[in-house]
Structure 1
């Protein structure tokens, strides 16, 4: 299979295909994302054994990625392996302890680079200014996204008074979404595994006319219906998603909001510190 200069990388193909794959193919895709060097190093039968799928699943998988054959996919993976990335080292090439540390650190760095190569300073500033200008900022996340929503809300309270994270314990979404206005700002985290209600929340935000920042993993295509869509790379060197880039993005958004708030933010921060000291003394 000929490869043009505009063709996506092997791993990009796999990540983009994951949401559309059948369960067995997705399991294989996630295995390949975790250990791409295995595909570059082994034949289809061996890969099927490692990923606990059938050889037929491997064949269907590579066709869904757009390759004519397993060998074509393997050739593409080998070309990326030749770049020297440790991600493409076969698992057997490293000692267990070295592999765990090296793969996790390298993957975190790769995720950061890929995530922030697609996010501009202008976009970050637009989001920060929207938060500062909003009547109220709503931060929403479910399942894996929930702790990031809570973290971002907590950080934003250093500079923004009207910021709420949802859902709260014992509360319904309707009790809050009824109050969303067109001069508000909403940050929605939609990391895997997304819940179906996320789409309904985005639809409600569109209906309300509020500006929306949608933060997802790389498995979701760019959403043109939201104001901003930041996609974080979450590829992992093991069974858990790597959320290094998500946390870095939260930190960047909070810091830039504080910076753009200027003296107002410094005054609020000083008052917070005074109260913290006073309460600690009590």
Structure 2
């Protein structure tokens, strides 16, 4: 079992390593603790079970899988980490408002942003922006809800980067793109909750081929697909749906820094796009009365 003076990462790493092997009930418990590890230090086993909606027996089995003799030993370890000042243990759950209130959701978004930014190196984000500017092509990958994030970031960057694409296209498979990704490309992968296994497999293949892979996922993710950069976004929310405010902030920051890093070439492309808009008349100016100028 882990000694109490181990780094905080060792405790969370044990959960990440076991996540894929846990039954669904214990996976839910693991995800909750990864989002808010300080809760383990603050509550009894019964209180924690009630917060997550699992049985006391599930909590007991979970901590024993981590190598602890019982819940109290695991809680002492978490308390030691919190006392040592680990920021991961200082993020509270939203409190003081009903779970379905606007205030509770706003508090969750605030906490997710703070926790996400604490875990991301700004220098790494700057390096990603530079890599995307220098890349031959930038590809964006995401399935299910993740596709909307991939499409959003690609849409922002397409204004200054000459070759961008979301994968796969309608009716296409990832295999059809496997031979197109080159060593001087960047692949941005969104792989948050319940991302299909093929996403990690494709990212791994791209990384092995020399492409620089940015892997955007959640704190409980166990795999990084051999990525050069791994960005973990906190998405906990009071309700049944995840909060993606922190993720959208991350996309906004990446897009902004990439626009700056694109320099004169990026501004020239942006100017060309605007000139084409004007020439094609696709974007109509709106008058003060709300009507479009025809």
Name the CA shift for 1:100/1:64 in 2 (closer, same or farther; >3 Å): farther
Deviation at 1:107, TM superposition (A): 2.7
Q: Deviations over 1:202-222 (max 9, x none)?
A: 232134221111111111247
Query: What is residue 280 of structure 1 aligned with on the other side?
Result: 283
Question: Is 1:64 matched with 2:65?
Answer: yes
TM-score normalised to structure 2 length: 0.76
Name the CA shift for 1:224/1:31 in 2 (closer, same or farther; >3 Å): closer
Name the CA shift for 1:251/1:41 in 2 (closer, same or farther; >3 Å): closer
Consecutive unaligned residues of structure 2, counting only runs of 5 or more, are 285-293
Question: Is 1:106 matched with 2:111?
Answer: no
Name the CA shift for 1:135/1:49 in 2 (closer, same or farther; >3 Å): closer
Query: What is residue 92 of structure 2 aligned with on the other side?
Result: 87
TM-score normalised to structure 1 length: 0.79
Higher helix share: 1
Deviation at 1:259, TM superposition (A): 0.2
Q: Deviations over 1:101-141 (max 9, x none)?
A: 34432332232223223333332222122211222111111
Is the deviation greater in 235-244 or in 168-177? 235-244
Is residue 219–residue 232 contact of structure 2 (8 Å, CA) maintained in 1? yes
Q: What are the within-5 Å matches in structure 2 for residues 224-235 of structure 1?
A: 225-235=226-236
Q: What are the within-5 Å matches in structure 2 for residues 208-223 of structure 1?
A: 208-221=209-222, 223=224
Taking the aligned partners of 2:269 and 2:134, their CA distance within structure 1 comes to 16
Deviation at 1:39, TM superposition (A): 6.6
Residue correspondences, number: 277
Root-mean-square deviation (Å): 3.5
Q: What are the within-5 Å matches in structure 2 for residues 27-38 of structure 1?
A: 27-30=28-31
Structure 2 residue matching 1:96: 3-state secondary structure: coil
Taking the aligned partners of 1:224 and 1:27, their CA distance within structure 2 comes to 23
Query: What is residue 151 of structure 1 aligned with on the other side?
Result: 152
Consecutive unaligned residues of structure 1, counting only runs of 5 or more, are none
